[in-house]
Amino acid sequence: MSCTWRIDTLSALHGPRPTPLGPGAVPFSLSPHRAGAGMPSRAAAHTTGRASVLAALTATVLTVTGAPAFAAPDDSQPMDRAFTRAAAEFDVPRDLLAAVGYGETRLDGHSGRPSQAGGYGVMHLVSNPTNRMLERAAALTGKPVAELRTDTGANILGGAAVLRAYADKLGLDARDRDDIDAWYPAVARYGGAQGAAAALYADTVYTFLASGLDTVVPGGERISVTGRPVAPQKGALSDTEVRTQSPDYPSAKWVPANPNNFTPGRSAKIDKVVVHVTQGSYAGSISWFQNPTAEVSAHYVVRSSDGEITQMVRDKDTAYHARSANASALGIEHEGFIDDPSWFTDTMYRSSAALTKSLCDRYGIPKDRAHIIGHSEAPGNDHTDPGPYWDWNRYMELVGGSSGGGKSGDGLNFTSYATQQSGSTGAQVKAVQQLLNDQGYPAGAVDGSFGPATKTAVAAFQAARGLSADGVVGPRTWTALLSAGTTPSLQQGASGDGVKRLQRSLTAALGTTVGIDGGFGPATVTAVRNYQTSRGLTADGIVGPDTWAALQTGR
């Protein structure tokens, strides 16, 4: 099931017959395409020696750590307490429960708004014609459906109840339930898919268990799962690995969408590529495109962590993804959320751009922004994906085409800031030189060549900021340089050059992309809280004197 959230932008998964979402309605009434179900059962016997770690789990987690032990919950940790309570009440491993929620929504409940699949809350409790998980959770917990939709604690309790019900149906006894590896088939059922898609969903959850995670959720609370070796008991799912190669793009896997969700053949020549963002997970989107009630699909889906690609509709057929452009367009979905740029990894950009380049070469599509467009640019659409944080300049450069707009603004905006030192050249050296000159540290000509004058200026700036004066521009020096200037109080709703400086410096400090658009929106709030938490500051999402002081000294 895809977590495609119906905010004011609706979702990235678009079909041809949208219906407005009425109060209390579930989103199947507005997703103009159709869905699947069922799951294989668990193997009866346990494996005794689990020496191997799950080999298939190669994806990286957004922010991972295998080191810290789980801290005891307290009054400042409402979500953590909810996971602990729900795990105890239904005898579900706490870390498994958290990993399922993280895989579904990155633990963002989106204020009770439903996804396109009809899922609610951090645990994505689904209500659609083929999956009544939300209603089942209500029956199991005694909680009203409205509360399960909007209250995070109740939603987590509902997720635990459903997982336990699946475990009971699979025959897991008390000893089994203490073994996190025995839960694999129950997790696969929670995903609402069958076969390869179900295994892909469960593998994603066990990736988080294997790698661990440490994330700050929208309320500013930190949620952690400690990494561990895993050897899940896959049972009947052990033989469902996706082995089929894409018929159109050999680097991709092939998992066909449900025939209800696309039309065989085309009524127009292929002349464009449409870029989408799933507003949900990779595995969940693949599952949703296999659901016959979804009535949505795309030709390709790209994973955030490693750039893996799955093809779901043949190029020669018409996927349902961009309304009036469907007949002539190829649709590429990218795992993630439009308001969280951390999903848009370098690996994803490169993998997707290689796919787009190949498609353009094969079908004679011009490599320009008139023919490689976002969903929001397709005629007759009211969607905003891929959103303000999608780096079109970078993407088009990787495709080998024209962005149609040149580089952004003042030459200081980058999706990441690499270390610069003597001998370095290029656009980021120019940025260093410009920033130094602006702050009164003469770096010489802004020529993109890191020579002696630039090194001397860097060292002088570092000494003034209490940094190691080695003349090398690493993350700390970048952070101090990019944040230098006035220190206005900033919070959600603010805009302007001060916000841009903040967004640049956070990108450097955190090592993850923070969209640089000058608008202090939810993604910037999350980035500020992540920074504040990691630096021991009050994680209120407001940039005051303490946060500016930390940034301007390169903390």
CATH number of the structural domain spanning residue 181: 1.10.530
DSSP 17: S
Give the residue, 315 or 27, on which the prediction is more confident: 315
> Is 381 in contact with 14 (CB distance < 8 Å)?
yes
Residue 170 lies in a domain: yes
Total domains, the chain: 3
Q: Is the pLDDT at 61 greater than 80, yes or no?
A: no
Asked if residue 422 belongs to a domain, the reply is no
In this predicted structure, what is the pLDDT of residue 22? 33
Are residue 155 and residue 250 in the same domain, yes or no? no
Task: Point out the domain boundary residue: 217, 237, 257.
Answer: 237
Residue ending a domain, choose from 400, 421, 441: 400
**Which 8-state DSSP code applies to residue 239?**
G
Non-local CB neighbours of 496 within 8 Å, separated by 6+ positions = 518
Q: Give the range among 134-143, 340-349, 454-463 with minimum mean pLDDT.
A: 340-349
Q: What is the DSSP letter of 7?
A: B
Asked if the structure places residue 155 within a domain, the reply is: yes
Report how far residue 266's alpha carbon sits from residue 245's, in angstroms, rounded to the nearest whole number. Answer: 23
Assess whether 96 and 230 both reside in one domain: yes
DSSP annotation string for 456-483: HHHHHHHHHTTS--SS-B-HHHHHHHHH
The reply to whether 105 and 145 lie within a common domain is yes
Q: Is residue 416 part of a domain?
A: no
The answer as to whether 339 is a domain residue is yes
Query: 490: which strand partners?
Result: 543
Sole residue written with tokens 């995670």: 213
Phi, psi of 528 (to 5 degrees): -60, -45
Q: How far apart are CA 325 and CA 316, in angstroms?
A: 14
Residue 232 shares a structural domain with residue 248 = no
Residue 128 lies in a domain: yes
232 and 247 share one domain? no
- Mean pLDDT over residues 69-80, rounded? 64
Q: Is residue 206 located within the same domain as residue 138?
A: yes
In whole angstroms, give the CA distance from residue 389 to residue 22: 29
Say if residue 131 is in the same domain as residue 93.
yes
Say if residue 343 is in the same domain as residue 222.
no
Residue 15 has pLDDT above 50, yes or no: no
208 with 250, same domain? Answer: no
- Find tokens 């500020």 and name the residue: 528
* More confident call, 241 vs 267: 267
At position 188, the amino acid (one-letter code) is A
Q: Between these two residues, 72 and 11, which has the higher pLDDT value?
A: 72
Which residue matches tokens 């024209």? 402
Q: Do 121 and 213 reside in the same domain of the chain?
A: yes
Residue 490 included in any domain: yes
In this structure, the answer to whether residues 212 and 302 fall within a common structural domain is no
Residue 511 has pLDDT above 60, yes or no: yes
pLDDT classification of 66: cutoffs 50, 70, 90: very low
Q: At which of 237, 262, 290 does a domain end? A: 237
Average pLDDT for 272-289? 89
Pairing of strands 329-334, 300-302: parallel
pLDDT of residue 242: 60
Q: What is the CATH number of the domain that holds 529?
A: 1.10.101.10
Containing domain of residue 334, as a range? 243-400
Query: Using CA atoms, how far apart are residues 194 and 200, in angstroms rounded to an integer?
Result: 10
User: Is residue 109 within 8 Å of 155, Cβ to Cβ?
Assistant: yes
Alpha-carbon distance 475 to 324, whole Å? Answer: 45
Residue 375's CATH number: 3.40.80.10
Q: Do residues 515 and 522 make contact, with C-beta atoms less than 8 angstroms apart?
A: no
In this predicted structure, what is the pLDDT of residue 402? 56
| Residues 256 and 215 reside in one and the same domain | no
Average pLDDT over residues 261-283: 93
* pLDDT band (50, 70, 90) for residue 306: confident
Between residues 117 and 503, the one the model is more confident about: 503
- Cβ atoms within 10 Å of 263's Cβ, excluding its own: 16
Q: Is residue 466 scored above 70 in pLDDT?
A: yes
In a domain, 29, yes or no: no
Contacts of 246 (CB under 8 A, 6+ apart): 252, 253, 254, 309, 310, 311
